[in-house]
A and B are shown apart, each in its own frame.
Chain A
Amino acid sequence: MTSSLDLSPDLSLAGFASALRHAGLAITADRVQVFLRAVAALDIAVAADVYWAGRASLCADPDDFPRYDEVFAAWFSGDLPSGGIRRTRAAPTVVQAGLDAEDNGVEGEDHAIAVSASDTEVLRHRDVAELSATDRAELLRLFASLKPQAPRRRAARRRPSHTGEIDPRRTLRAQLRHVGEPARVLYRRRGIRPRRVVLLVDVSGSMRPYADSLLRLAHTMVRVAPRQVEVFTIGTRLTRVTSALRHRDSEYALRLAGDVVPDWSGGTRLGEVLKVFLDRWGQRGTVRRAVVVVCSDGWERGDTALLGAQLHRLKRLAHRIVWLNPHRGKPGYLPVQAGIVAVLPSVDDLIAGHSLASFANLLKVVADA
């Protein structure tokens, strides 16, 4: 195999792994070690062998494949084996459009799942620094007063209890302790587990004044139940920001989220993005039996029939759909926008989301769901 650099084979392979790390893949030392062993078990002179060895040992997600392919082609300046570049249906197709002059260097390696972008899409990174120091301190103080609680559901696993059905295993074990003499009958019943919560936060232009607060709210919820809460931003694309929001420090978490979201303050194509969400995450299980909170004003630029159909689909999967609309709390508000009208039949709760009090109300609705 010809490397772009004149290095010893092992060094060249390690360099390749390091290049992947710089491209954003989570490469750890043990992964590199497995990679080197894998190549040693195959034939380093065969491009396909090195390709598959690397893909199996260095990638951990189908989202990693496009970047892996790119770096592989660049590092070894060889052709990719056929079959490796076959994309799945949901593969990202990034169409970069309408970038302002000051917004350079935004794209390249975002792993957002893209809806085909139109000319009106504006890719923009959010600037957290815009907030003044006093504002931020005030906001933090206020958000610290919110106490989210995860909703609950019955678990499949049974737990010891005072009432319920007879637990033969524990009863017999207790008998065994008394050398087989009949002892007290013990009981068990199904336990309680936190129910999953999925937040979909609209970050389009019309939601701009609220998006930051909503993500902060999402952060407080993720902090309480990191494994049970999933957060996505929707706009012209779908982006998963859960891992970013798992960071303890809210400022840092929000900055990370801001770096991941490519369509900050862009347009809205709720229907299409919801479809992508349901195809990729929904049907597979993330929203099954979950409480889904959609934070959006329902201003849909695309087809509202599609939006309605997707919400209906979501309703059949989710436990409860809560729609949080910032305008709902304003005097004189009527749910007459085409988007809201389309989703109304599928939504369980339509609640306000413009103030801290309404956020507290949302947390209560979610906790009781």
Chain B
Amino acid sequence: MNVVGSAADLAARLRGTGYLADEGLATVGYLALALDRPLLLEGEPGTGKTALALAIAEALDLQLIRLQCYEGIDSTQALYDWDFPRQILHLRTVEATSSGAEVEEVERSLFDERFLLARPVLRALRESPAVLLVDEIDRADDEFEAFLLEVLSTHEVTIPELGTIRAEVPPIVVLTSNRTREVHDALKRRCLYHWIDHPGLEREVEIIRTRLPEVSRRLAEQVARSVQRMRELDLLKPPGVAETLDWARAIDALGTDALDVQSAAATLGAVLKYREDSERVRESLDRLLAS
């Protein structure tokens, strides 16, 4: 499976799925594969952190297993849980059908694989090779990070009733963070770290063209240029690539193939999500659209 020979090879494969990685990202991504290290991605929202994991899974033809983090997430939601209702049903069935079954036998059958609910991390270990995406790790608590650390460094998990489950091939792990909270240094040390920036003008045009082939080159350039200017405006929430794509799609949906003041004003909600930002941009819209 791991047949990626170089950073350029990885970049080419990602390009095949429609994800354009720059040199830095491709190199770091290749290193993560070559060294079997988790990859920690940080960056502004909407710069393609999650999309990279999806693209890697698609490019390497692997299954993507996603763990979305949130406050209060614990190991029963990340690792495994027992299916209690089914266990009880099973117990009742055993009781009703067999008369004198061995107690130990019944007990063993109770903690059988089929009553185990595998959650994303366990699934990734069992079904590896796979890509495990731990999304928005900064939303989880410190305790959860410590738990994740253990799994990521040993690639194994012990279930008291079943024994140790070890991944024969370590899964490719991608962690993303929006930096709402500083991720613990111990976790960072286990990972390769990369900060994803907003793309430059040319790459952004290329991204629009790759992702939305129906959008004309002219419109793509206009949209990308306007968004690049918006990012310099010191807005509350500078638009990310995701917003750029939404905007291009919105304008295209209106049936216009060029960006003018009217169509831009009508679709501004696709790029800017704050009233203050919209007002500021609306004021200087003609300057923003000038080529």
Chain A residues close to B by CB (< 8 Å) = 26, 28, 30-31, 34, 37-38, 41-42, 48-49, 52-53, 55-57, 59-60, 62, 65, 81, 83-84, 86, 88-89, 155-157, 168-169, 172-173, 175-176, 179-180, 227, 279, 283-286, 288, 313
Asked whether, in the complex, the Cβ of A283 is within 8 Å of the Cβ of B237, the reply is: yes
- CB of B23 within 8 A of chain A? yes
- CB of B287 within 8 A of chain A? no
Q: Which residues of chain B have C-beta atoms less than 8 A from A62's C-beta?
A: 42, 195
Q: Which of B230-257 contact A (CB under 8 A)?
A: 231, 234, 236-238
**B147: min CB distance to chain A, Å:** 14
Q: Which residues of chain B have C-beta atoms less than 8 A from A157's C-beta?
A: 71-72, 74
Asked whether, in the complex, the Cβ of A180 is within 8 Å of the Cβ of B88, the reply is: yes
By CB atoms of chain A within 10 A, which of B110, B178, B180 has the most?
B180
Q: Which of B203-245 contact A (CB under 8 A)?
A: 231, 234, 236-238
- CB of B12 within 8 A of chain A? no
Asked whether, in the complex, the Cβ of A83 is within 8 Å of the Cβ of B72, the reply is: no
Asked whether, in the complex, the Cβ of A56 is within 8 Å of the Cβ of B91, the reply is: no
Fill in one digit per residue for B52-92: 1 if any A CB lies within 8 Å of its CB, else 0.
00000000000000000011101000000000110110011
Q: Which residue of A lies closest to B28 (CB)?
A: A56
Contacts A28-B189, A48-B23, A176-B87 given; indicate if A89 touches B236 (C-beta within 8 A). no
Q: Pick the contact of A89 from B23, B91, B138, B231 — CB < 8 Å?
A: B231
Contacts A89-B238, A179-B91 given; indicate if A38 touches B35 (C-beta within 8 A). yes
Asked whether, in the complex, the Cβ of A53 is within 8 Å of the Cβ of B31, the reply is: yes
Asked whether, in the complex, the Cβ of B31 is within 8 Å of the Cβ of A176, the reply is: no
Asked whether, in the complex, the Cβ of A52 is within 8 Å of the Cβ of B24, the reply is: yes
**A87: min CB distance to chain B, Å:** 9
Q: Which residues of chain B have C-beta atoms less than 8 A from A279's C-beta?
A: 236
CA A172 – CA B92 in complex, angstroms?
13
Asked whether, in the complex, the Cβ of A172 is within 8 Å of the Cβ of B88, the reply is: yes
Q: Pick the contact of B27 from A34, A49, A168 — CB < 8 Å?
A: A49
CA A41 – CA B92 in complex, angstroms?
57
Q: Which residue of B lies closest to A84 (CB)?
A: B24
Contacts A53-B27, A60-B193 given; indicate if A180 touches B181 (C-beta within 8 A). no
Overall SS of chain A's interface: helix
**A283: min CB distance to chain B, Å:** 7
Contacts A57-B192, A62-B42, A156-B72 given; indicate if A284 touches B84 (C-beta within 8 A). no
**B47: min CB distance to chain A, Å:** 10
Pair count A-B, CB < 8 A: 108
Asked whether, in the complex, the Cβ of A55 is within 8 Å of the Cβ of B24, the reply is: yes
Contacts A157-B72, A176-B91, A180-B91 given; indicate if A56 touches B181 (C-beta within 8 A). no
Q: Which residue of B lies closest to A82 (CB)?
A: B23
Listed A/B pairs (29) with beta-carbon separation below 8 Å = A28-B189, A34-B35, A34-B192, A37-B35, A41-B34, A48-B23, A52-B24, A52-B31, A55-B194, A56-B27, A56-B192, A56-B193, A56-B194, A60-B185, A62-B42, A83-B22, A83-B24, A86-B197, A168-B84, A172-B85, A176-B88, A176-B91, A180-B92, A283-B236, A284-B179, A285-B138, A285-B178, A286-B180, A313-B236
Q: Pick the contact of B70 from A86, A156, A176 — CB < 8 Å?
A: A156
A-B contacts besides A55-B24, A180-B88, 19 pairs, CB < 8 Å? A26-B185, A38-B34, A38-B35, A38-B192, A42-B31, A49-B27, A52-B23, A52-B24, A52-B27, A56-B31, A88-B197, A156-B72, A157-B72, A172-B88, A173-B84, A176-B91, A179-B91, A284-B179, A285-B181
Q: Which of B79-115 contact A (CB under 8 A)?
A: 84-85, 87-88, 91-92, 95, 110
Fill in one digit per residue for B171-197: 1 if any A CB lies within 8 Å of its CB, else 0.
000000011110001001100111101
Asked whether, in the complex, the Cβ of B91 is within 8 Å of the Cβ of A42, the reply is: no
Q: Which residues of chain B have C-beta atoms less than 8 A from A34's C-beta?
A: 35, 37, 192
Q: Which residues of chain A have C-beta atoms less than 8 A from B236's C-beta?
A: 279, 283, 313
Closest 6 CB pairs of A and B: A285-B180, A157-B72, A156-B72, A172-B84, A52-B27, A41-B34
**B44: min CB distance to chain A, Å:** 7
Asked whether, in the complex, the Cβ of A284 is within 8 Å of the Cβ of B24, the reply is: no
Q: Which residue of A lies closest to B74 (CB)?
A: A157
Q: Which residues of chain A have C-beta atoms less than 8 A from B91's C-beta?
A: 176, 179-180
By CB atoms of chain A within 10 A, which of B24, B197, B234 has the most?
B24
- CB of B127 within 8 A of chain A? no
Q: Which residues of chain B have C-beta atoms less than 8 A from A284's C-beta?
A: 178-180
Q: Pick the contact of B31 from A41, A86, A313 — CB < 8 Å?
A: A41
Q: Which residues of chain B have C-beta atoms less than 8 A from A28's C-beta?
A: 189
Asked whether, in the complex, the Cβ of A169 is within 8 Å of the Cβ of B84, the reply is: yes
Q: Which residue of B lies closest to A43 (CB)?
A: B6
Asked whether, in the complex, the Cβ of A48 is within 8 Å of the Cβ of B193, the reply is: no
CA A288 – CA B179 in complex, angstroms?
13
Fill in one digit per residue for B29-44: 1 if any A CB lies within 8 Å of its CB, else 0.
0110011010000101
Q: Which residue of B lies closest to A278 (CB)?
A: B236
Q: Which residue of A lies closest to B89 (CB)?
A: A180
CA A227 – CA B30 in complex, angstroms?
34
Q: Which residues of chain B have C-beta atoms less than 8 A from A288's C-beta?
A: 180
Q: Which of B101-155 contact A (CB under 8 A)?
A: 110, 138, 142
Q: Which residue of A lies closest to B94 (CB)?
A: A180
Asked whether, in the complex, the Cβ of B88 is within 8 Å of the Cβ of A65, the reply is: no
**B203: min CB distance to chain A, Å:** 10
**A184: min CB distance to chain B, Å:** 15
- CB of B7 within 8 A of chain A? yes
